Copies of this chain bind each other. A is one copy, B any other.
Amino acid sequence: MTASGKYTIGFDLGGTKMMAALCDRDYRIVAREKKKTRPENGQDECFARMVTCVEELLEKSGVTADEIAALGVGAPGPLDHVNGVIRQTPNLGWSDFPIRDKFERELGIRTFLDNDVNLGTLGEFVFGAGKGGTNAIGIFVGTGIGGGLIIDGRLYHGHSGMAGEIGHMIVESDGFPCGCGGNGCLETVASRSIVSAVAWLMSLRGDAPHLLAETREAGEPIKSGALARAIKNGDGRVRELVEYAARRIGEAVATLVNVLSPDTVILGGGLVEAMPDVIVPEIKKTLDKKALRLLMEGVRVVAAELGDDAVAMGAAHMAQNGLSGSGGK
């Protein structure tokens, strides 16, 4: 294992696809390799695909493992970032998988692991929409709502290593049951999952004709893109629904501003990225109304910029800084 390699690899392990990105010293992505995750085949088979994915990335780039300083992996949580172990991932079905040690043994490359939402936040903070900040909050609205916290320029993990569960802020005292076992969490009023459930009701009831045309044959949760198209085509009630969710997210962000006083708020995830023009202004309006004025002074509220590269770039940055001893806290 060498720490003097010219390149770093950032790996984004998602529930449906994986991507390995080869980054040069300036964190420019010089090559990408993607594969389906196929979690149904079990963790060993899936890990083998990850290794193949890295090997193929190296092969097609004409780079050897010796030239790689470090590998950073972003995976769905909960996980143990200190020891590099994936504890349990509901959407992968893995449990207690020592992915860091396995990668190091298999490839001979020093490896670091963190939560994908943390690394997406770090990627946007260092290279994307959040550049130039010091204390930042990343909020990613998709199936669930994930969050990452940057304190004094570094990812913050807290006591458990799992800080940043913004989707499980309690926003209704006696609200809908949540997937976490609690109830009234932010996810129960503002995730893409609940929005698409209510939108589905709307379409059944005849309130969303454009959406109905899109989803008639789907049989699964309505995607963010379909919601965005329905709004664009004139489904006013769907727009109201999405604006409602945005206001609830805005209230949660107001809470985070009042408690954490960040300088930067990064908004991302499928729902936001499918229609930033509908969601971001509504969040900003809510913040102006509900966050304390003195704490909102100079706060940037920005939409994520790096799309599918954010996690891999954050992972590459973590790996590089892990080596120099300034990261991985």
Contact = CB atoms under 8 A, between A and B. Distances in A.
Nearest to A290: B182
A252 B172 CA distance: 11
Nearest to A263: B159
Contacts of A165: 258-259, 261, 292, 295
A138 interface: no
Nearest to A298: B159
Contact of A255 (B134, B169, B183): B169
Q: Which of A147, A151, A160, A292 has the most CB of B within 10 A?
A: A160
Contacts of A247: 173
A275 interface: no
Contact of A258 (B169, B248, B262, B291): B169
A203 interface: no
A262 B158 contact: yes
A277 interface: no
Given A171-B171, A255-B169, A162 B261 contact: yes
Given A78-B294, A290-B170, A295-B165, A158 B255 contact: no
A297 interface: yes
A129 interface: no
A180 B180 CA distance: 32
B151 A156 contact: yes
24 contacts: A78-B294, A135-B158, A135-B159, A149-B260, A158-B261, A158-B295, A160-B295, A162-B261, A163-B259, A163-B260, A163-B261, A164-B259, A165-B292, A166-B258, A168-B258, A168-B292, A169-B259, A170-B251, A170-B290, A171-B171, A180-B292, A182-B289, A182-B292, A184-B290
Interface of A: 78, 134-135, 147, 149, 151, 156-166, 168-173, 180-184, 247-248, 251-252, 254-256, 258-263, 289-295, 297-299
